[in-house]
A and B are shown apart, each in its own frame.
Chain A
Amino acid sequence: MMNFMRDTMAITTKELKQLRRDPVSLVLTIVFPILLIGIFIVIVSAFRATTHNVPVVIADLDGSPASNALIDKITESNYVHVTQYVQTEDQAYQEVANGQVIGAIVIPPGFGSALANGNAFVIVSTDNSKLTSSQFVNTAVSQSAQDLVTQATQQGGVSFGLKVAPIEVITRPMSGRPPTGDPILPGFLGMIAILGAFDDIVNAICRERERGTFPRLTLSPVSLFAVYSGKMFATVVLTILRTALMLIIFRLYGLAIRGNLVLIFITTILIAMFTLSVGLTFSTRIRGSATLTVLEIAMTFPLFSLAGTTTSPLLLAPGGSAIANSLPWTYGNDALRRLIYLGSGFNAIAGDLLILFVSSMILLPVAILLSKRTM
């Protein structure tokens, strides 16, 4: 046992020394988290911009005070920017079809009188190939119509034909975070652990194979299990560093981390261990480091949606949900979210951690067995 531990530590030290001597890999360990967060900030900034200025045209076919009031509300909206007023419905649609604007808002004749009867409507034609922008146009018109009705009701006591009082839904997120809180940062931490571990395995096995040092390592008086354990322990050390870096970035970004830090580190370590086990299994069949990296990157991108990084598995289609539930990474990301956002304790995430641990313990011997066969 002592020999095993000593051999494991020797391999770990060797791995870390190699990393220190490889500036590209060393930089990558730091660049990965920063790049991912940078991209997140770009996307979030776009969504959270105070004004979106999605270009729209308006065709007011009514010309009543009510339609003018609605146009005023729409022009005040931060979502859209009215680029043109056109005379006919067809002109408005043509502008959308030509790609000049994202949306056309048509206020039909009789809008003013229909509003008083509670059966008014507005036509919104959008270029739905612009997925987010078209939603903003609809939101702008909905909000403007709501404002118009509310204002008219308050000022004139007109109910606009509503038969029942509306019901307000008051949402109270259990984390206490504002509704605009970032829902995906913990998932990014999970992805960093996955990407980092994948990169580690490329360094640890494939590049050694390519350089011819792996057979020498296996010929040394060190067991294959100790070799793999040593490499895994090196990944654990690197995962701790990556997690610490990510948590610092989270704090600088203003994210409140409510859970136990030790549990967060344990979770990312288990995610990395499972990823390493998968990588070791792959590396028994795919020998080239570049090929393995490409394969792993190709695998990683779908994980953004399937492993609960950007979307909860609960919201996926049944097939996607089934895939998500069969991936141990999903449980790791879930545990991270609960730890960081809800401040859950060990009991709440024990099941998730167990799934990650057991999956690793199943895959690791398989990887060692396959590795022995392919030597």
Chain B
Amino acid sequence: MSARGFFNDSMAVARNEYRQFIRNRSAILISLVVLPLFFTVSLGAGQGGAGTTFSPTAHIPIAWVDEDNTLASYRFWQSLSTSPDFRDLIQGYTEQGALAQLGTKRIYAVIVVPNGFQNDLDTGTQARIILYTDDSEPGVSDQIQATLTTYTQNFNPEVQVQPYETELQRQSVAGVAIVAKGATFAGFNIGLTTVLAIVQIFAGFYEIAGGISKEREDGTYARLLVSPISIGSIMLGKTLFDVVLTIIRTFTVLGISVYGYGARPNTDILTLLALSLIVSLITMGLGFVVASLKLGQRAVVIIEFFLILFLFAFSGLIIDSNLLVGVSQVISNLLPFSYAFDALKRTVLLGRPLPTLTFDLEYMIGSIVLLYAIAFVVLHFSRERLIT
């Protein structure tokens, strides 16, 4: 078959995909609206966008128990209660009374300044503050402790108004300041990399693997196979159509992230689009491989769920892949998605030009070729079996 014929067949398959797509309202809704919108909005709402500065501990009700009742303890209370981090410090509790309320959702922590607090400070002994926390709330205990510690490190009981703590002072460790350098990111830049990748994987996999399974269950796939269209044309046609959907989804996620949550990608739109397409093509390749296994739609969706969970654990989405150990790290190093997420972070967050990520690009493109080749071979043989 000539290249022209092959391409014409592919375009015919792509047109067929398009016609089927526009006739299916729920497919349009899920692929182009629900997935990009839902993931972006939910993550954006959770993290807060750029310009949304909020202190996680600011509005957590915390009981303040002062057993010392000295000038030093008063000034420490003053430094906390006037800070932007502890807006809901509640006075008037005894230690026992406060502890009785802990765990009832009325208060989530109790700060106790014990007797002898000022005396310890005056004599140069290490003073102590006791923090009781409701540790049934994930992360709350650590967050309150970390924030409170920053206020204790530079507290000076000899002055009425504690000096404004710059970021540098806050990181000081008993006389040695840690000057942190390195790119800092606008509020939703990190969220953008995660959402973009997840949305493309979620949608791409379902559209390819789920689409072929549906056609198989409906009986239309067998008819497609007995038509004079090659497997290669079918794969290319479906890929071309999904590339169009990928582009639309990329712009949807980008639009909501930038205009809704103030993300400021540190790269150009073409790089972002290229990486989005690479993630999508890896997913489509995997989708074709899964589709070649002749699984039902339900099985495909279940595999998709496991795939996403798998990627959350091993591909650097939740924890940096270099921190994984043993078999987990081997798995992570083999996954092309790990390289794709890494490339997304390096370009979107750090502004690295895409061509400089040579190894990542080679690995991802190699994976796409390999996955498509495997799918082609398996689909080709299954076609022969179907026809005979």
When the two chains form their complex, are residues B298 and A127 in contact, meaning their CB atoms are under 8 A apart? no
When the two chains form their complex, are residues B176 and A45 in contact, meaning their CB atoms are under 8 A apart? no
Q: How far is the CA of A49 from the CA of B314 in the complex (A)?
A: 16
Which of the residues B39, B125, B149, B179 comes within 8 Å of A122, measured between beta carbons?
B179
When the two chains form their complex, are residues B156 and A169 in contact, meaning their CB atoms are under 8 A apart? no
Known: A128-B185, A164-B157. Contact between A293 and B46, CB under 8 A? no
When the two chains form their complex, are residues A299 and B325 in contact, meaning their CB atoms are under 8 A apart? no
Q: How far is the CA of A317 from the CA of B136 in the complex (A)?
A: 19
Q: How far is the CA of A55 from the CA of B320 in the complex (A)?
A: 13
Q: For chain A, which range describes its interface: under 10, 10 to 19, 20 to 34, or 35 or more residues?
A: 35 or more
Residue of B nearest to A98 (CB): B356
Residues of A within 8 A of B131 (CB): 169-172
When the two chains form their complex, are residues B173 and A344 in contact, meaning their CB atoms are under 8 A apart? no
Known: A298-B34, A311-B139. Contact between A169 and B145, CB under 8 A? yes
Residue of B nearest to A182 (CB): B138
When the two chains form their complex, are residues B152 and A166 in contact, meaning their CB atoms are under 8 A apart? yes
Nearest CB in chain A: distance from B8 CB, A: 31
Residues of A within 8 A of B76 (CB): 167
Q: How far is the CA of A216 from the CA of B145 in the complex (A)?
A: 60
In the complex, A308 has a CB within 8 A of chain B:
yes
When the two chains form their complex, are residues B180 and A124 in contact, meaning their CB atoms are under 8 A apart? yes
Nearest CB in chain B: distance from A158 CB, A: 10
In the complex, A165 has a CB within 8 A of chain B:
yes
When the two chains form their complex, are residues B129 and A306 in contact, meaning their CB atoms are under 8 A apart? no
When the two chains form their complex, are residues A174 and B135 in contact, meaning their CB atoms are under 8 A apart? yes
Residues of B within 8 A of A354 (CB): none
In the complex, B30 has a CB within 8 A of chain A:
yes
Of the 9-residue stretches A7-15, A142-150, A223-231, A363-371, which lies at the interface with chain B?
A: A142-150
Q: How far is the CA of A125 from the CA of B180 in the complex (A)?
A: 6
Of the 9-residue stretches A132-140, A237-245, A247-255, A266-274, which lies at the interface with chain B?
A: A132-140
Residue of A nearest to B137 (CB): A312
Nearest CB in chain A: distance from B207 CB, A: 10
Residues of A within 8 A of B198 (CB): 301
Residues of B within 8 A of A306 (CB): 42, 45-46
Q: How far is the CA of A145 from the CA of B153 in the complex (A)?
A: 14
Residues of A within 8 A of B228 (CB): none
In the complex, B300 has a CB within 8 A of chain A:
yes
When the two chains form their complex, are residues A160 and B350 in contact, meaning their CB atoms are under 8 A apart? no
Residues of B within 8 A of A93 (CB): 181
Interface string of A333-375 (1 = CB under 8 A from B): 0100110011010001000000000000000000000000000
Q: How far is the CA of A266 from the CA of B155 in the complex (A)?
A: 48
Q: For chain B, which range describes its interface: under 10, 10 to 19, 20 to 34, or 35 or more residues?
A: 35 or more
Interface residues of B in 164-195 (CB under 8 A from A): 168, 171, 173-185, 190
When the two chains form their complex, are residues B214 and A118 in contact, meaning their CB atoms are under 8 A apart? no
Nearest CB in chain A: distance from B30 CB, A: 6
Q: How far is the CA of A145 from the CA of B178 in the complex (A)?
A: 9
Interface string of B63-107 (1 = CB under 8 A from A): 000000000000010000000000000000000000100111100
Interface string of A320-341 (1 = CB under 8 A from B): 1011000000000010011001
In the complex, A213 has a CB within 8 A of chain B:
no
Interface residues of A in 159-191 (CB under 8 A from B): 160-175, 177, 179, 181, 183-184, 186-187
In the complex, B378 has a CB within 8 A of chain A:
no
Residues of A within 8 A of B27 (CB): 291
When the two chains form their complex, are residues B54 and A318 in contact, meaning their CB atoms are under 8 A apart? yes
Q: How far is the CA of A297 from the CA of B198 in the complex (A)?
A: 12
Nearest CB in chain B: distance from A126 CB, A: 4
Known: A149-B176, A311-B139, A312-B137. Contact between A298 and B129, CB under 8 A? no
When the two chains form their complex, are residues B26 and A123 in contact, meaning their CB atoms are under 8 A apart? no
Residues of B within 8 A of A54 (CB): 322-323
Interface string of B23-45 (1 = CB under 8 A from A): 00011001000110011001111
Of the 9-residue stretches B239-247, B305-313, B367-375, which lies at the interface with chain A?
A: B305-313
Known: A96-B182, A160-B174, A314-B60. Contact between A172 and B130, CB under 8 A? yes
Nearest CB in chain B: distance from A65 CB, A: 15
Residue of A nearest to B183 (CB): A128
Residue of B nearest to A338 (CB): B136
When the two chains form their complex, are residues A46 and B323 in contact, meaning their CB atoms are under 8 A apart? yes
Nearest CB in chain A: distance from B301 CB, A: 4
Residues of A within 8 A of B324 (CB): 42, 46
Q: How far is the CA of A129 from the CA of B344 in the complex (A)?
A: 9
In the complex, B148 has a CB within 8 A of chain A:
yes
In the complex, A24 has a CB within 8 A of chain B:
yes
Nearest CB in chain A: distance from B176 CB, A: 4
Which of the residues B45, B126, B142, B178 comes within 8 Å of A168, measured between beta carbons?
B126
Known: A169-B145, A293-B301, A306-B42. Contact between A120 and B135, CB under 8 A? no
When the two chains form their complex, are residues A341 and B135 in contact, meaning their CB atoms are under 8 A apart? yes
Interface string of A293-308 (1 = CB under 8 A from B): 1110111011001101
In the complex, B337 has a CB within 8 A of chain A:
no
Nearest CB in chain B: distance from A202 CB, A: 8
Residues of B within 8 A of A141 (CB): 178
* A127-B350, A166-B153 known, 9 other contacts, Cβ within 8 Å: A46-B328, A52-B323, A125-B180, A167-B155, A173-B132, A289-B298, A290-B300, A302-B38, A305-B46
- 6 closest A-B pairs by beta carbon, nearest first, are A317-B48, A302-B42, A320-B46, A173-B135, A183-B138, A312-B137
Contact sample, A vs B, 23 pairs, CB 8 Å cutoff: A39-B310, A39-B312, A45-B328, A52-B323, A121-B178, A122-B178, A123-B181, A129-B342, A164-B121, A164-B157, A165-B124, A168-B126, A171-B141, A174-B132, A174-B136, A179-B141, A289-B298, A291-B30, A294-B304, A295-B30, A315-B56, A323-B45, A334-B105
